[in-house]
Amino acid sequence: MSYKVLVSDYISQSGIDILKEKVEVYFNHQLTREEFLDIIGDYDGIIVRSMTQLDKEALSRAKKLKVIGRAGTGYDNIDLEEASKRGIVVFNTPTGNTISASEHTIGMILALSRNIPQANEALHQGIWDRKKYNGVELKDKTLGIIGLGRIGSRVARIAQSIGMKVIANDPYLPPEKAEKLNVPLLTFQEVLQRSDYISLHTPLTDETYHILSHKEFAIMKDGVRIINVARGKNLDTQALIKAIESGKVAGAALDVFEEEPIRDSQHPLMKYKDKVILTCHLGGTTTEAMDNVSIAAAEQVLAVLENKLPESPLNIFSIGAQEFNNLKPYLALINKLGNFLANWKGHERIKEIEVEYGGELTEYNSKALTTSLIKDILDPILDHRVNLVNAYLVARERGIKIKESFLKQPDELKNIIRVNITTAKGNYSLAGTSLPIGCRVIEINGFRIDLNLDGKFLIAIYQDKPGVIGKMGSILGNDNVNIASMQVGRKNEGGQAIMLIQTDSKPSVETINKIKQGLDFVELSYLEI
Ligand code: MLT
């Protein structure tokens, strides 16, 4: 592959080595924003952690970018909507640092309860003060977890094993999962009111921005302890400081901050050394987690560059390996139908694409198939890249209506896909089926045919009358165009008919003109599929 990948945040060497086997890699985690903006346009792929900001401005310069890999979980540093508009695949590696982030959280809870960092620092200065650094036990204390996802769940399990009572709030978690963990799911307010420790494990979204602020601190227990190893902006720093000053919050342990990195010893949080423990976004920074996310990000970047789906996409439908295998033959069929329609009617302005699925296809992931179809129809006819990421968006932007339906009576076939398109000039349809021997096109504009859609084709729609087929054969023969196969279909005698001629070579413009002049066709097209 002659692709170039930029790694602009620090990741472990294991991923870089994997990349280097197949692509050109530039690894520099110390680029200034200006330097980064200057070079981003040269790269096909990029791997970032949380420091590189892939915002609108950066993406507008990333003209060649096809894939963004987030080596880690949170992706609030990536403008997902803008990346999607530009057809850039974005994925993260959400499982690689679950253990590390959970263990860091537990470490923060322990450190906070036993004043470990403060006592350590004092003793290094020769101060032995057992009274000052008196702590509290965790057993029987209530830990309130906000966000019971992968990390929150693991924190819950460890905390339970050291005797804490764990309660949680997570509006998106199926109750059975919480039941399995033996964690009562309560309202957000209840968790705030009942907890001795509150640990945040939510991603940063509009909903979770400042999820803990003045109002929330006000209803917490006096002496509550706050832990944030998730995202800095989930916590309102000013509100936390006020709550520390008022004595409402006995201590806070923070690994993430509203602005990172902090390099200022005058930062407002630095005033509370005895109560606030700070680490520099170390949740996922262990040898094991760094290797995991680095390897996963590298492998998936390469997969996307090889036109495969990533394992944990953020802006593309997610599909398991088994399901993807089941869909493969239908994706191939969709690809043929889409290509045929793009070649045949792409020059007419497409206003609507409707796809009907029948037979066993009604049980499959139609979203994956329909997205592929839109891509296959629009990519060859538009002047910018249409892929699985932006296919729906592009269709919507162009005012193309997309409809999907399921055929209740699949007729005699095991599976069928019919695509109907409406253009500025008319309505057209194409149907196909996937058989063990390959894909067959079985219907064009309602005419029954049976064709393997590969090669060079002349398609004619004409009035059914004697002599048409003979004349067509003579013109092609005289011009030395060999007919490889031919099919005709009609709905009724004397009505409109369709003729599909597969040729061994491309008929010249003169030959096509001769056909047009010699035969009174309603329509004649030449396609190469
Ligand atoms: C993450 O979102 O995975 C963590 O913040 C760790 C990191 O990548 O820095």
Q: What is the pLDDT of residue 522?
A: 86
Question: Does 320-454 match 4-94+288-305 at the fold level?
Answer: no
- The CATH architecture annotation of domain 4-94+288-305 reads 3-Layer(aba) Sandwich (3.40)
Catalytic residue list contains 260: yes
Q: What is the pLDDT of residue 283?
A: 97
Ligand 1 site residues, Cβ closer than 6 angstroms: 49-50, 72-74, 97, 281, 283-284
Q: What is the pLDDT of residue 210?
A: 98
- CA 108 to ligand 1 center in whole angstroms: 16
Q: Among the atoms of ligand 1, which is closest to the Cα of residue 72?
A: 3
Give the whole-angstrom CA distance, residue 274 versus residue 289: 30
Residue 378 to residues 5, 65, 332, Cα–Cα distance (Å): 27, 20, 16
- CA 142 to ligand 1 center in whole angstroms: 26
Mean pLDDT of 110-138: 98
Instruction: Say whether pLDDT at 233 is over 90.
Output: yes
Q: What is the pLDDT of residue 15?
A: 98
Which SS3 state, helix, strand or coil, does residue 40 take?
helix
Instruction: Extract the tokens encoding 173.
Output: 């978690």
Instruction: Say whether pLDDT at 276 is over 80.
Output: yes
pLDDT in tens, 183-210: 999 999 999 999 999 999 999 999 999 9
Instruction: Say whether pLDDT at 324 is over 90.
Output: no
Task: Give the active site residue among 104, 201, 231, 440.
Answer: 231
- CATH level 3 topology of 320-454: 60s Ribosomal Protein L30; Chain: A; (3.30.1330)
pLDDT in tens, 390-434: 999 999 999 999 999 998 765 678 899 999 999 999 999 999 999
- CATH level 3 topology of 456-529: Alpha-Beta Plaits (3.30.70)
Whether 35 and 318 have beta carbons less than 8 Å apart is answered as: no
Looking at the chain, the number of H-run helices and the number of E-run strands are 17, 21
Instruction: Extract the tokens encoding 237.
Output: 């720093």
Identify any residues that bridge with 69 across adjacent strands, giving them in sequence order: 47, 91
Give 506's DSSP letter: P
Q: Which phi and psi angles does 194 have, rounded to 5°?
A: -100, -10
Mean pLDDT of 232-243: 98
Task: Give the active site residue among 57, 260, 348, 354.
Answer: 260
Instruction: Extract the tokens encoding 50.
Output: 């949380």
- CA 281 to ligand 1 center in whole angstroms: 8
Q: Report domain extents, the chain.
A: 4-94+288-305, 98-278, 320-454, 456-529
Which of 281, 288, 314 most suits a substitution to test ligand 1, by most atoms within 8 Å of the C-beta?
281
Q: Among the atoms of ligand 1, which is closest to the Cα of residue 256?
A: 5
- CA 84 to ligand 1 center in whole angstroms: 22
- CA 98 to ligand 1 center in whole angstroms: 10
- Between 409 and 47, the higher pLDDT residue: 47
Domain covering 98-278 assigned CATH 3.40.50.720 in the classification: yes
Which of 10, 50, 70, 201 most suits a substitution to test ligand 1, by most atoms within 8 Å of the C-beta?
50
